Amino acid sequence: MKLLTSFSDVIIPCIIFGVVGYGLLKKVKVYECFRDGAGEGLRTVVDILPTLIGLMMGVGILRGSGFFDILGVVLEPITSALNIPTELIPLLGVKMFSSSAATGLVLDIFKTYGPDSYIGMATSIMMSCTETIFYTMSVYFLAAKVTKTRYTLKGALIATFVGTIISICLAFRMVGP
């Protein structure tokens, strides 16, 4: 374990020095390239900022209005038949839009049920098995100026559904309901 910790302390500086050294060997103006890339990144952030603000505001409104809680109550007959904790429905809905907002729900679940409970374990696994679909699509497609997303949304929703089912199965196997 100590070797792994020492390795992780050294790897990032080695990568930085390696990239700079390689650039110098190839006679590339490393600082100018870094500065140009940083400027381009800043312009990208400015371009996507309205989208980010809109997404965060929308998630805040849906969460504050109780929409996700109502959705959990409506879907309760289906979720109980599939042995899916109803508390995960609001988390799943929020996670598709914002990981930071979902983290707030995770903390609420941990306070209520504990991180080592079935619901807590399913929550932890689900957070790592699912993606912020709409955030990722809006940010990256806007930045890359992609207008035709083809099957991206369908594939992402299927992957999120599968990740949710797998996380519940893993939590069930580890702790049980």
Among 123, 141, 129, 127, residue whose Cα is nearest residue 166 = 129
pLDDT in tens, 13-58: 999 999 999 999 999 898 999 899 899 888 888 887 887 788 778 7
State the residue for tokens 């699912």: 130
Residue 115 has pLDDT above 80, yes or no: yes
Tokens of residue 37, six digits: 């890339």
Residue boundaries of the structural domains of the chain:
44-174
Integer CA distances (angstroms), 47 to 22, 30, 172, 173, in order: 32, 26, 43, 45
How far apart are the C-alpha atoms of 87 and 123, rounded to whole Å? 9
pLDDT digits (tens, 9 = 90+) for 126-153: 898 888 888 888 878 877 888 888 888 8
- For residue 120, give every residue at least 6 positions away whose Cβ sits within 8 Å of its Cβ, in sequence order, or none: 109, 110, 113, 114
- pTM higher than the cut 0.85: no
